[in-house]
Amino acid sequence: MRNFSPAKKRVDVSPGESVRILRELQGLSQTQLSAMCGIPQTTISSIENGRVNLGVERAKKLATALRCHPAVLVFSGWQVPLGSAA
């Protein structure tokens, strides 16, 4: 593990874009995701387009439906300095 290169960040992704990417990768429509998590389709659309903040509670519901950790959605652009992660 000593001869590794850290990954290079290619693009900045907002929380809403993270939701859209994960939803599309799983082949779900906004309506299907809405039915899975109980968040109205119009709110999902607003989150994906940056008009509504994701928020922790919505992130938990969406993460459960999208089978990921909520931090993947909330902290999509988070960077940890090399060597400081546990």
Task: Report the distance separating Cα 41 and Cα 59, nearest Å.
Answer: 15
Please give the structure tokens belonging to residue 48: 């994906």
Which residues have a Cβ under 8 Å from the Cβ of 27 and sit 6 or more positions away?
Answer: none
pLDDT at 34: 98
Task: Report the distance separating Cα 1 and Cα 58, nearest Å.
Answer: 37
| Structural contact between residues 2 and 37, judged by C-beta atoms closer than 8 angstroms | no
pLDDT tens profile 52-71: 999 999 999 999 999 999 98
Q: What is the pTM of this model?
A: 0.78
CA geometry: angle 30, 31, 35, nearest 5 deg: 115
pLDDT at 47: 97
The single-letter DSSP state of residue 9 is P
- Other residues' Cβ atoms within 10 Å of the Cβ of residue 14: 16
The residue count for the chain: 86
Taken in order of first residue, the domains within the chain and their CATH numbers are 15-71 (1.10.260.40)
